[in-house]
């Protein structure tokens, strides 16, 4: 279920940070002219704009970008630019939609100091669904994140993970009943319905 994407699109304009500082997306044909391995090399370039562009290109490549998983996993945790980490998180969720190789780095990104990166990592883990169960405890923690933009992504992810996230129910109920943000309460309520229907 991808209900969470609909909910969050209307409430989190800042989370979808565009080019995260004005960097344009690669021209539609440009990313196809280079291999995933070539874009992966650019993730270690000294210029931030080049690294952002590489991560964006890998987002656009989808599963064809899977050879770049290791480079993306390094970037999402260690790059000094939150914009690079943000797009690396997005790319990780796109290049390996089954989640076998990306759960660990995306889970690590839930601890990122930048809220946009935490939010994107939670969103991507939610898209992966049940395989993302190792992230459950950190996602529960994000239900009380200081940034309201993060909390609904965490709630939706827990609902999408399913039975392995049932221990989150009591926390989701607290969020549903007490959070001051209506989008967060709505996300928690939907997650509760998903988990209770398993």
- The pLDDT score that the predictor gives to residue 18 is 47
Among the residues of the chain, which ranges form H helices? 3-9, 36-42, 48-61, 69-78, 82-95, 103-109, 115-128, 136-142, 151-161, 169-178, 182-196
> What's the whole-number mean pLDDT along residues 169-187?
97
pLDDT band for position 191 (cuts 50, 70, 90): very high
Q: Considering the domain 3-196 in this protein, what is its CATH number?
A: 1.25.10.10
Alpha carbon dihedral 99, 161, 107, 177, in 10-degree steps, equals 160
Which two structure tokens, joined as six digits, stand for 198?
A: 């398993």
Write the burial class of residue 189 (CB in 10 Å: 0-12 exposed, 13-18 middle, 19+ buried).
middle
Summarised one tens digit per residue, pLDDT across range 112-157 is: 999 999 999 999 999 999 999 999 999 999 999 999 999 999 999 9
- The pLDDT score that the predictor gives to residue 91 is 97
Instruction: Kindly report the average pLDDT of the chain as a whole number.
Output: 88
**Domain chopping of the chain, boundaries:** 3-196
| DSSP label at residue 97 | T
């Amino acid at each position: 279920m991808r209900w969470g994407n609909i909910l969050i699109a209307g409430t989190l304009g800042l989370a979808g940070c565009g080019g995260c500082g004005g960097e344009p997306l690669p021209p539609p044909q440009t990313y196809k002219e280079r291999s995933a391995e070539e874009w992966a090399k650019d993730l270690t370039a000294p210029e931030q704009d080049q690294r952002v562009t590489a991560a964006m290109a890998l987002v656009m490549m989808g599963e064809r970008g899977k050879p770049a998983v290791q480079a993306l996993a390094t970037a999402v945790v260690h790059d000094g630019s939150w914009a690079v980490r943000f797009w690396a998180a997005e790319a990780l969720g796109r290049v390996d939609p089954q989640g076998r190789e990306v759960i660990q780095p995306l889970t690590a990104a839930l601890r990122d100091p930048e809220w946009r990166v935490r939010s994107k990592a939670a969103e991507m883990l939610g898209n992966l669904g049940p395989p993302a169960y190792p992230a459950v405890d950190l996602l529960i923690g994000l239900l009380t994140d200081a940034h309201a933009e993060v909390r609904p992504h965490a709630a939706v992810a827990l609902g999408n993970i399913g039975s392995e996230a049932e221990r989150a129910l009591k926390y989701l109920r607290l969020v549903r009943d007490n959070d001051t943000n209506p989008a967060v309460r709505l996300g928690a309520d939907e997650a509760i319905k998903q988990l209770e229907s398993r």
